[in-house]
Amino acid sequence: FDVVFSCYGPLSVHTIARRAKRFRIADRWIADFRDEASVPFSWQRSWLKRYIRLIRKNADVISAVGEGMLWIMRLDAFGRSLPNGFDLEDAELATPVAVDRTMLTLSYCGQMYAGHSDLTPVFAAVRALADAGACDVERIRFHYAGRQGRLFTEQAAAYGLADRVTDHGMLPRTASLGLQQASDVLIMATWNTEERRGIITGKLMEYMMADKPVLCCVSGCVPNSEARQLVDATRLGAGYEETSAQADMPAFQAYLQGLYRARFLGDASPYTPDREAIAAFDYQKIAAQLADWMENV
């Protein structure tokens, strides 16, 4: 074969691909990471370091979903970014989900991780705007789709907004896409820490496909997260990072107020996405990048 392409995980895929190149079953090897390589037990860490060292030594191309993941594995000097993306054909699979069109609908679809997925900046911004008379909470509705509805509602309750939450529970992906399309605003959460950097959830890519403004919340002690940078670069919405809370919250509130005024008062929407930048995450474009590596490595 000309190329063997292996995508982690499990750990064995790269081991097999390395042997395929070593025994000349394939001429070139592209080693990809959609997740950070890890082992379940601390006594295996030395083996993991050797595993990554062998990949670095033998692979012709090493790729990962982002620079942060490459950095965590100490592959940033060798690796290339091959992001996740979206497939526009998926939008055609969406099934309609009814929401109250008299409300400004803010939705979060997907997993919430306790201790990491912190949506309180959104609830805090809504509460602050309401207390200042800049919005009416009776015209705002939060929707959640996933398994952690209790956690979502608890975070809303901390700001007196629990009664504004609709918990859909676990929805099929087609219905999740439908809820995204029916919403006015989409919420996402990620984190950026010394242990885990560069986490860009797949939901952000789905949100790009929905073509709706995104409120991006990033917890953790490391600034300048890739998720926040991506939202800013594509003008997809507004970002908030725990490390720059004081600087970010006023702009976060202003963006949310602008969406509220656009919805109910006819003001110009602050949502002005860079559609060319977003189009770079279409899977056709990403596949073309990978094909170029396969042809020209």
- Cα–chain center distance at 171: 19
Query: Is pLDDT above 90 for 185?
Result: yes
Whether 194 shows a pLDDT value over 90: the answer reads no
Residue 237 pLDDT greater than 90, yes or no = yes
Dist. CA 290–CA 78, nearest whole Å: 16
pLDDT at 125: 97
Which one has a higher pLDDT value, 123 or 113? Answer: 123
What pLDDT digit, counting tens, does each position of 65-88 carry?
A: 888 889 889 998 989 999 999 999
- Which single residue is written with the structure tokens 């990962």? 64
Q: In this predicted structure, what is the pLDDT of residue 108?
A: 95
User: By three-state DSSP, how is residue 170 classified?
Assistant: coil
User: Coil, strand or helix: which one is 150?
Assistant: helix
pLDDT band at 203 (very low <50, low <70, confident <90, very high): confident
Q: Is the pLDDT of residue 224 over 90?
A: no
- Mean pLDDT, residues 3-27 taken together: 95
Q: How far is the C-alpha of 281 from the C-alpha of 202, rounded, in Å?
A: 11
| pLDDT (tens digit per residue) in 28-38 | 999 999 988 98
Percent of the chain with pLDDT over 90: 82
- Indicate the length of the chain as a whole number: 297
Contacts of 144 (CB under 8 A, 6+ apart): 107, 108, 109, 152, 153, 165, 166, 167, 168
Provide the pLDDT for residue 155.
96
Distance between CA atoms of residues 224 and 192, nearest Å = 8
The pLDDT of residue 180: 95
The overall average pLDDT reported for the chain is 93
Residue 295: is its pLDDT beyond 90? Answer: yes
pTM: 0.87
What is the arithmetic mean of pLDDT over 271-277?
96
